[in-house]
Amino acid sequence: MATLSTTEKGSSSSSTLHKPIPSESHFNAADIIRDSIIGFADGLTVPFALTAGLSSLGSSKLVIIGGLAELFSGAISMGLGAYLAAVTDRDRYLNEEKHERQEVSTKATAAKNDIIELFSEYGVSRDSSSAVAEDLSKDEDNWIKFIMDFKNKMEKPNVSRAWISAATMGFSYFFGGLLPMIPYFAITNVTHALFVSIAITFVVLLVFGFIKNYVTIKTKRAGFYGAVQTLIVGALAAATSYGIVRGINNNSMNG
């Protein structure tokens, strides 16, 4: 937590501005939980919908091959997407930082006025904010950091942790997608395997939806709402995929 406190000499007025500024090397459990939820949620619904759709063709081998192909490609896509998003955020941050550095170098007065206007939104007097702006201008790096943190509200992305995020999302996606596929490896009758897959996914969707919302909002009511919501989304995705594949197969056979 970064705290900026300004006190005008000879006056009892003061202002404190708070904003969390995470360390570039900081990577806590919340980041891992967030990435795991994103990856697992996609992995549980997308491959399940695909395998449910493919099961309408009546071949367990086809379901397994198609499901595994989607699992591997989806996991890789999730991982690369997470990494590329971090790189894009970094480039955007650096570009904005370069722009602000040029502004500070060529238009110092205007940059100071931006800080004064920023503090005015918090009810800080012009005299107090002017003193802060003057102090900040003595160190260009801190000045730029303040502008990026508080004016632009941009946190410097840590690309080095992007690989952790990518791996977490990728493995979570793969694990989530693998669960509904297990019955197809163990049961030769594709219809029976489908029903077992539906039962497994039904339970996992309810548990996952409950935990996801309960951890985030920390109320049982939110947890039950998340369970129902997640179940409905998964069921709609699976039913849609099943209907489309079955319809295409019937049309191709009739044709």
> Which tens digits make up the pLDDT trace of 100-132?
889 888 888 888 888 888 888 888 888 888 888
CA distance from start to end of the chain: 66
Q: What is the pLDDT of residue 105?
A: 85
Q: Could you tell me which residues come within 8 angstroms of residue 144 by beta carbon, excluding any fewer than 6 positions away? A: 97, 100, 101, 104
Cβ atoms of 137 and 110 closer than 8 Å: no
Q: What is the pLDDT of residue 1?
A: 39
Return the amino acid letter for 178: L
Q: What is the pLDDT of residue 28?
A: 64
Q: What is the mean pLDDT of residues 45-60?
A: 84
Q: Which residue has the higher pLDDT, 72 or 250?
A: 72
Asked whether residue 221 is assigned to any structural domain, the reply reads yes
pLDDT > 70? residue 45: yes
pLDDT > 70? residue 27: no
Asked whether residue 13 is assigned to any structural domain, the reply reads no
Angle (nearest 5°) at CA 77 between 76 and 80: 85
Q: What is the pLDDT of residue 139?
A: 85
Q: Which residues are paired to 3 by β-bridges?
A: 18
Q: How many domains does the chain have?
A: 1
Q: Which residues are paired to 111 by β-bridges?
A: none
State which of 37-51, 182-196, 225-239 shows the largest mean pLDDT. Answer: 182-196
Positive or negative, the Cα torsion across 50, 53, 57, 58?
Answer: positive
Asked whether residue 28 is assigned to any structural domain, the reply reads no
Q: What is the pLDDT of residue 23?
A: 42
Asked whether residue 25 is assigned to any structural domain, the reply reads no
Q: Which domain holds residue 123?
A: 37-245
Q: What is the pLDDT of residue 244?
A: 83
Q: What is the mean pLDDT of residues 203-209?
A: 90
Asked whether residue 97 is assigned to any structural domain, the reply reads yes
Asked whether residue 68 is assigned to any structural domain, the reply reads yes
For residue 138, count CB atoms less than 10 angstroms from its CB and return exposed for 0-12, middle for 13-18, buried for 19 or more: exposed
Q: What is the mean pLDDT of residues 194-209?
A: 90
Q: How many CA atoms lie within 13 A of 255 on its CB side?
A: 6
Asked whether residue 186 is assigned to any structural domain, the reply reads yes
Q: What is the pLDDT of residue 21?
A: 41
Cβ atoms of 6 and 124 closer than 8 Å: yes
User: How far is 244 from 236, CA to CA, in rounded Å?
Assistant: 12
pLDDT > 50? residue 37: yes
> Which tens digits make up the pLDDT trace of 150-193?
888 888 877 778 888 899 999 999 999 999 999 999 998 998 99
User: 8-17, 33-42, 58-67, 84-93: which range is least confident on average?
Assistant: 8-17
* Confidence grade of residue 34 (pLDDT, cut at 50, 70, 90): confident
Positive or negative, the Cα torsion across 94, 148, 85, 160?
Answer: positive
* Mean per-residue pLDDT of the chain: 82
pLDDT > 70? residue 56: yes
Asked whether residue 49 is assigned to any structural domain, the reply reads yes
* Confidence grade of residue 47 (pLDDT, cut at 50, 70, 90): confident
